[in-house]
Structure formats: structure tokens, C-alpha cells
Amino acid sequence: MPKVLLTGAAGGIGVATARRLWEKGFQLVLTDLSLGTLERAFPEVPSGSSRELLDVQSLENWQEIAERHPDTEIVIQLAGVMRVGKFIEQPLDVWHLQQGVNLTGLVYGAWVFGRRFAERGHGHLIHVASLAGIAPVPGITAYTATKFGVRGFSLALDLELRPHGVPVTVICPGPVATPLIWNELPKPESVYTLAAGGLLKPETVARAIERAIRYRPREIALPAYKAWAARLVGAFPRLLPWAVRLFTKGAARRRAKFLRAHPMPSPSMT
């Protein structure tokens, strides 16, 4: 089975994806910013797999890991951060963090491995974006911008690389029950997170990633009913004010009810 490198592997989607791919016999290079976080998420790894530090914002780190694992055939980029709040009320450091991890770091990985894959005529880049990269979401303006960037970058890069045997798949899930969401959900600006329904399970996204590996589509958006709504609003921006009013009605009440029914896990930066 091909060797797969995952960024943000210690996060909820990363752990679910690793377990699913191990069941299928893949060898994995599990990377994250903290070795301790990786060891807690993966106390043991199967033979042929490894845990390694990777700061996605460091081009040098990307080049070093590519040198250590030249036989990597699939790169799955999961690393991401989200900071809920009104954009003009946040310091610009909050923007730089999200832009650096979510977009620039992903671009570095695609540049380093995309070149290698194109040279040998095979490989696969899988980028996890968000439905917030299809339709804008207030309260996470900076995050939305980075995910629009990831989606646009991925679709354009696929047009360049697929003719060379290197497909690029972008996966756009709705909100997922991971620390990235849990840590921000108590903030009032996160009201839109649950406005259109509950949270996806990490395992649902892991199944989509496995499907991407098997079929190599350009894009997967999920769940289907939210994806269609996001595409409609994204295609017709004049619908945005209407959509915001529609989803805002009762959203705060649903969020409060959800928080009462689902006590927040311990805070985490993962």
C-alpha cells in the first residue's frame, strides 16, 4: 500500500483518518506541531508508520520531511486553526495565524510534494477545506478567507497537475465535532456553526478522505444538504443577507441548547 503523510494528524479528523487508513493497510507518516500531542493521540503506531514533528509554516520543515520520506505517494493536509470573533475586533495576529497555518502552510506542502509527484508522474494531494470555503460565514471571516483560498488554490492546481498524473482533491466538510470547533463554540460569534444543523463526526470526514484516495475526484463537499445550500448561496451572493436572516432565526437558541446537552471537552489547541 502507498505511504501517506498527514498534517494535523493529532486532531480529531487526523486520528479518525489514521485509524481508517491503518485498517486498509496504509503506512502513515503522522505529523503535527507537538510530539507530545502526537504521542498522546497515537501511543503506538503500526510497523512502517511513524510520528514526526512538522511546522507547516516552515518551508524548510516541509523540504526536510520530503527528503526523509521520498516514497510518500499521498499527502493529506488536515492542519488548521479557527478563531471565532468579529474580524475588526480581533488583533491582526489572529489573521496571520489562520492564514499561516490554513493557507500558506498548505501551499508549502503542495509546492514541495507537488513538484516531486509531477517529476515522477504520480502522486495525490488531498486538501481539507470547509463549506466556509464555498459560502462565506460571518463570525469566522478570516477562517472563511483562508478556506476560500484553499479551495480555489486546490481546484486551480488540479488543472495544472492532473495532466501530469497528480490529482488534487479538495474536501469541504461542514462543522466537525473536533477541538477546533469545541474550543470556539462557547463564543457568541459562533452562533452560525449550528445554524443549519449539528456537527459531523470525524469518522464521516475520514470516510470521505478514503473515498478521495480511491476515486480521486476534484472535490467532495459534505453533508450533501449543507453542500447544496452553500453552493447556491456561493453562486448567488445576493442571497447572502436572506440566508443570514434565515439561519440566524433561532440559531442562538439551538446553540445554547446544544451547549447544555453537550458539555465541552477540556480545552485543547489541537
- Average pLDDT on 152-167 reads 98
**What Cα–Cα distance (Å) separates residue 82 from each residue in 101, 190, 256?**
10, 11, 20
Q: Which of 245, 52, 63, 21 is nearest to 138 (CA)?
A: 245
Strand partners of residue 220: 171
**pTM of the predicted model as reported, rounded to 2 decimal places:** 0.93
- Residues of the domain holding 241: 3-261
Q: Which of 74-88, 185-199, 251-265 has the lowest mean pLDDT?
A: 251-265
Residue 37 lies in a domain: yes
The residue among 49 and 181 whose pLDDT is bigger is: 49
Q: What is the number of domains present in the chain?
A: 1
Q: What is the pLDDT of residues 179-188, one digit of tens each?
A: 887 777 778 7
Residues contacting 140, CB < 8 A, separation 6+:
82, 83, 84, 132, 189, 190, 192
Helix boundaries (H) for the chain:
12-23, 35-41, 59-68, 92-98, 105-120, 141-161, 179-182, 202-215, 224-235, 240-248, 251-261
Residue 36 lies in a domain: yes
Residue 52 lies in a domain: yes
Q: pLDDT value at position 265?
A: 53
Angle between helices 12-23 and 202-215 (to 10 degrees): 50
Q: What is the pLDDT of residues 56-83, one digit of tens each?
A: 999 999 999 999 999 999 999 999 999 9
Residue 269 lies in a domain: no
CA atoms of 197 and 111, how far apart (whole Å): 36
Which DSSP string corresponds to 49-81?
-EEEE--TT-HHHHHHHHHH-TTEEEEEE----
Q: Which residue has the cell 502513515?
A: 28
Residue 167 lies in a domain: yes
CA atoms of 143 and 163, how far apart (whole Å): 31
Q: pLDDT value at position 264?
A: 57
Mean per-residue pLDDT over the chain, rounded: 91
| CATH assignment at residue 143 | 3.40.50.720
| 146 — pLDDT class (breaks 50, 70, 90) | very high
Amino acid at 19: R
pLDDT at 125 over 90: yes
Residue 133 lies in a domain: yes
Q: Which residue has the cell 487508513?
A: 21
Q: pLDDT value at position 249?
A: 65
Q: pLDDT value at position 155?
A: 98
Q: In percent, how much of the chain has pLDDT > 70? A: 94
Residue 267 lies in a domain: no
Residue 268 lies in a domain: no
CB 121 within 8 A of CB 165: yes
pLDDT at 134 over 90: yes
Q: Which of 189, 173, 183 is nearest to 130 (CA)?
A: 173
- Average pLDDT on 18-34 reads 97
CA atoms of 131 and 230, how far apart (whole Å): 7
CA atoms of 255 and 84, how far apart (whole Å): 14
- Average pLDDT on 113-135 reads 97
Q: Which of 157, 155, 180 is nearest to 170 (CA)?
A: 155
Q: Which residue has the cell 493557507?
A: 103
CA atoms of 103 and 125, how far apart (whole Å): 14
